Amino acid sequence: QSVVTQPPSVSGAPGQRVTISCTVSNSNVGTDSNVHWYQQLPGRAPKLLIYANSNRPSGVPDRFSGSKSGTSASLAITGLQADDEGHYYCQSYDKSGSELFGGGTKLTVL
Amino acid sequence: EVKLVESGGGLVQPGGSLRLSCAASGFTFSHYWMHWVRQAPGKGLVWVARISTDGSDTRYADSVKGRFTISRDNAKNTLYLQMNSLRAEDTALYYCASLAAEDDCWGQGTLVTVSS
């Protein structure tokens, strides 16, 4: 069974840099599945932050960046701000090509 | 303005049915594959189903296969989710979304509560 794994929580002080990891476990799929990252602020719908591993949609600040190596991806947030606090989800694909979300990571700004 | 507006949620008894709708505006709806994603109270995002641009190709999460049907009407710019044999574990906020990279768009969701 395919699984996308994220840490349940991360935290950082304002101005600091934090990273959120995402591991895609797909025994029958190669390492070229894309990973996308979504931000969900409290009470809001999700919003795309990063698509295809490292691309930022227009309007997303360059404080947010993504990377991927093999079956592991990371979201980095620099210059942490209080209104970055919320949940962050990575999304990839299972072995049949269907979309699959990670369990989400709660970011707390200390 | 690109917009997705879901409707049709509500309270339904176990075993019952509901039909969700998602009205799209501000973009060429017929050009995009569309998805339903749900979120149980206090839980994470779960992909539910997707449909191709012309409706000929559909795919479902194992948890809803055989019970839910995704469809679309490109003339009405509307996406649908027919939900049958509903269970308590289907209780969630249901979002429609494009999941379309640079053109990604999500609605605000419609709440489905399955309870007796």
CB B50 within 8 Å of CB B35: yes
CA distance A87 to A105: 5
Q: Concatenate the DSSP letters of all residues of B53-95 into one string.
A: TTS--EEE-TTTTTTEEEEEETTTTEEEEEE-S--GGG-EEEE
Q: Please tell me the predicted confidence (pLDDT) of residue A28.
A: 44
Residues contacting B92, CB < 8 A, separation 6+:
B38, B39, B40, B41, B43, B46, B111, B112
Q: Choose among A33, A37, A100: nearest CA to B48.
A: A100
- CB within 8 Å: B45 and A55: no
The answer to whether residue A103 scores a pLDDT higher than 80 is yes
Q: Which residues in chain B are contacts of A99 at CB distance < 8 A? A: 35, 47, 50, 99
- CB within 8 Å: B107 and A91: no
Q: Which residues in chain B are contacts of A51 at CB distance < 8 A? A: 101-102, 104
Residues contacting A32, CB < 8 A, separation 6+:
none
Q: Please tell me the predicted confidence (pLDDT) of residue A29.
A: 46
For residue A93, the distance in angstroms to the closest alpha carbon of chain B comes to 10
**What's the Rg (C-alpha) of chain B?**
13
Chain segment B28-84, per-residue pLDDT in tens: 999 999 999 999 999 999 999 999 999 999 999 999 999 999 999 999 999 999 999
Q: Please tell me the predicted confidence (pLDDT) of residue B25.
A: 97
Chain segment B2-29, per-residue pLDDT in tens: 999 999 999 999 999 999 999 999 999 9
Q: What is the mean pLDDT of chain A?
A: 92
CA distance B45 to A47: 12
Q: Please tell me the predicted confidence (pLDDT) of residue A26.
A: 67
Q: Please tell me the predicted confidence (pLDDT) of residue A31.
A: 59
Closest Cβ–Cβ partner in A40, A45, A99 for B99: A99
CB B98 within 8 Å of CB B48: no
* Interchain CB contact of A66 with B (< 8 Å): no
- CB within 8 Å: B47 and A98: yes
Q: Please tell me the predicted confidence (pLDDT) of residue A97.
A: 85
Q: Concatenate the DSSP letters of all residues of B1-54 into one string.
A: --EEEEE--EEE-TT--EEEEEEEESS-GGGS-EEEEEE-TTS-EEEEEEE-TT
Residue A6 confidence class, pLDDT cut points 50, 70, 90: very high
CA distance B50 to B35: 4
Average pLDDT over residues B76-95: 98
Nearest CA in chain B to A90: B45
Q: Choose among A34, A33, A67, A61: nearest CA to A47.
A: A61
Average pLDDT over residues A52-78: 95
Among B22, B39, B48, B95, most A C-beta atoms within 10 A, so best to mutate, is B39
For residue B76, the distance in angstroms to the closest alpha carbon of chain A comes to 24
Residues contacting B40, CB < 8 A, separation 6+:
B46, B89, B91, B92
Chain segment A67-84, per-residue pLDDT in tens: 998 889 999 999 999 999
Residue A36 confidence class, pLDDT cut points 50, 70, 90: very high
Average pLDDT over residues B72-100: 97
CB B35 within 8 Å of CB A99: yes
The tokens for B74 are 């490109």
For residue A16, the distance in angstroms to the closest alpha carbon of chain B comes to 26
Phi-psi region of B29 (alpha: psi -120 to 50; beta: other; left: phi over 0): alpha
Residue A2 confidence class, pLDDT cut points 50, 70, 90: confident
* Interchain CB contact of A14 with B (< 8 Å): no
